[in-house]
Amino acid sequence: MAILMEEGMRWFGPADTVTLAELRQAGATGIFSALHEIPYGEPWPMDAIVARRDAIAAAGLTWRVVESVPVHESIKTRTGDYARHIENYRLTLERLGAAGIRIVVYNFMPVMDWVRTDLHHRLPDGAEALRYDPVKFAAFDLFALQRPGAERDFTPAQCAAARTFWDAQSTVARDAFIRQTLDLFPGVRLGLTFDDFRAMLARYREIDAATLKQNLQLFLRAVVPAAEAAGVRLAIHPDDPPFSVLGLPRIVSTAADLRDVVAMADSPANGICFCTGSLGVRADNDLAGIVREFGTRIHAVHLRSVQRDDDGSFFEAAHLEGSVDLPAVVHALLAEQRSRARTKDRAARLIFRPDHGHVILDDFKRPAPACPGYPLIGRLRALAELRGLQLGLAAARSD
Ligand code: DNO
């Protein structure tokens, strides 16, 4: 089997402004996609799964990874009709397995999938990147959402800076900032209002990290057997960013968390999506060490760097720049891939995709990407760099 990881790209479906033909020219062979049009919690119809798979195949590519099958909030909070939603999840896994799609990414982040405060952060070379600034997020939390107790989650200096930032914004700018923060669900606009959002947050009032972990364990106990039967491997995506936001518990932020997750169901079907951009926001996460520790439990890989700054902000650096040592990570991943090749576990060939990319060059002239972070040319650059990195590292091996 191949000694290199397969190259993948994310595609948001027929509504994506990037076409499959373009992703193929970028050199990817594996696609990460999802049926974003199916409402969260509903089972995915078999005919829609097959149609998506066949459309991808017709473009000369293979749908390798489902990213994601979203976990309904009722399952995370274990309230309301969570039992029906779990049953639906099992059904979707069965159908995906029957259609030959064997890796399913999901996350267990309460309420919000990921959080950024700047979607057009300009870098010195004119490229645009995504950024998280705790001061701006504090402004959202304190003055837009007006969450009781929010001031306890920020330092007095951050609260004061948030006030200055907020006061300087026009009403139009404030509205746009609020909309953008509420809308950041990859591939789908949930169109949440503040009231919806507050109601979602309220459901977590009694849920701390220990309870959320318990709910994850109960979910895994119910769905892992279905995944096993379907030949599907589940891959949990880490929290992005890997710390608590809006007072919500976050339980997939560190190596210790990942240890807990894999122990919840001792099965290859219970694995992780190793995302260096998410985990890399914490300087205490040893990314190459995580690869070595979780080895065979890694079912999908997102490669991306971040630049961490002293004020707690970070932005998405170019893939081979910033605070994340991607060469060291890819080195560790290639060792894992070689060991899989030795055991001839063909189903388990590692697949990575460049996670996000800068807006560069002709990206500025193209229609906006389906989701912030997913322009074509910026990701093409990232994939090309990562391809060179893995080929170079593989060629430089002396043993
Ligand atoms: C962001 C993505 C995540 C990821 C989900 C997986 O660009 O990496 O939103 O798709 O969290 O469930």
Substitution site in 32, 67, 190 for ligand 1 pocket (most atoms within 8 Å of beta carbon): 67
Instruction: Write out the two tokens for 131.
Output: 């950024």
Substitution site in 71, 103, 114 for ligand 1 pocket (most atoms within 8 Å of beta carbon): 114
Give the model's pLDDT for residue 253: 98
pLDDT confidence bin for 345, thresholds 50/70/90: low
Mark whether 106 and 137 lie in a shared domain: no
Mark whether 19 and 144 lie in a shared domain: no
Give the model's pLDDT for residue 189: 76
- Asked if the model's pLDDT at residue 107 lies above 90, the reply is yes
Mark whether 194 and 213 lie in a shared domain: no
Residues in the chain: 399
Domain range for 243: 6-115+208-398
- Asked if the model's pLDDT at residue 245 lies above 90, the reply is yes
Give the model's pLDDT for residue 194: 86
d(CA 209, CA 275) in angstroms, rounded, equals 21
Is the bond into 68 cis (omega within 30 degrees of 0)?
yes
Over residues 273-286, mean pLDDT: 98
Mark whether 190 and 245 lie in a shared domain: no
Give the model's pLDDT for residue 182: 87
Residue 124 lies in a domain: no
> What percentage of the chain carries pLDDT values higher than 90?
91
CB 7 within 8 A of CB 30: yes
Over residues 108-135, mean pLDDT: 96
Give the model's pLDDT for residue 399: 57
Mark whether 142 and 284 lie in a shared domain: no
Give the model's pLDDT for residue 1: 57
Give the model's pLDDT for residue 188: 73
- Asked if the model's pLDDT at residue 347 lies above 60, the reply is no
- Asked if the model's pLDDT at residue 300 lies above 70, the reply is yes
Give the model's pLDDT for residue 343: 84
- Asked if the model's pLDDT at residue 186 lies above 90, the reply is no
Substitution site in 66, 72, 113, 299 for ligand 1 pocket (most atoms within 8 Å of beta carbon): 113
Ligand 1 geometric centre to CA of 113 (Å) = 7
Beta bridge pairs of residue 354: 303
Residue 122 lies in a domain: no
Domain end marker among 200, 227, 249: 200
Mark whether 232 and 290 lie in a shared domain: yes
Ligand 1 geometric centre to CA of 110 (Å) = 13
- Asked if the model's pLDDT at residue 388 lies above 60, the reply is yes
Ligand 1 geometric centre to CA of 186 (Å) = 6
99 to 45, 54, 77, 95, 141: CA distances (angstroms): 11, 10, 30, 6, 43
Give the model's pLDDT for residue 30: 98
Instruction: Annotate 79-124 with DSSP letters as a single string.
Output: -TTHHHHHHHHHHHHHHHHHTT--EEEEE--SS-SB--SEEEEEPT
Is the bond into 241 cis (omega within 30 degrees of 0)?
yes
Residue 389: φ, ψ to 5°: -65, -50
Helix (H, G, I), strand (E, B) or coil at 336: helix
Over residues 104-130, mean pLDDT: 96
d(CA 24, CA 5) in angstroms, rounded, equals 16
pLDDT confidence bin for 346, thresholds 50/70/90: low
Residue 143 lies in a domain: yes
- Asked if the model's pLDDT at residue 204 lies above 60, the reply is yes
CB neighbour list of residue 170: distance below 8 Å, 6 or more residues apart: none
CB neighbour list of residue 21: distance below 8 Å, 6 or more residues apart: 59
Residue 354: φ, ψ to 5°: -65, 130
Mark whether 346 and 227 lie in a shared domain: yes
H or E element at residue 67: strand 62-67
- Asked if the model's pLDDT at residue 359 lies above 70, the reply is yes
- Ranking 111-120, 191-200, 246-255 by mean pLDDT, the lowest is 191-200
Domain end marker among 155, 181, 200: 200
Give the model's pLDDT for residue 47: 98
Residue 56 lies in a domain: yes
Helix axes 209-230, 82-98, angle to 10 degrees: 30
Over residues 306-334, mean pLDDT: 98
pLDDT confidence bin for 281, thresholds 50/70/90: very high
pLDDT confidence bin for 185, thresholds 50/70/90: confident
Give the model's pLDDT for residue 348: 83
Helix (H, G, I), strand (E, B) or coil at 228: helix
Q: Where are the alpha helices (DSSP H) in the chain?
A: 20-25, 46-58, 73-77, 82-98, 134-139, 156-167, 171-182, 194-202, 209-230, 255-264, 276-279, 287-294, 326-343, 376-395
Q: What is the CATH number of the domain that holds 43?
A: 3.20.20.150
Tell me if the pTM is above 0.85.
yes
Active site residues: 237, 275, 302, 355-356, 374
Mark whether 225 and 374 lie in a shared domain: yes
Ligand 1 geometric centre to CA of 123 (Å) = 23
Number of domains in the chain: 2
Instruction: Please write the tens of the pLDDT for every residue from 134-171.
Output: 999 999 999 999 999 999 999 999 999 999 999 999 99
Give the model's pLDDT for residue 304: 98
- Asked if the model's pLDDT at residue 344 lies above 90, the reply is no
Mark whether 166 and 144 lie in a shared domain: yes
Domain end marker among 169, 200, 231: 200
Give one word for 130, left, alpha or beta, with left for phi > 0 and alpha for psi -120 to 50: beta
Mark whether 105 and 89 lie in a shared domain: yes
**Is any atom of ligand 1 closer than 6 Å to the C-beta of 186?**
yes
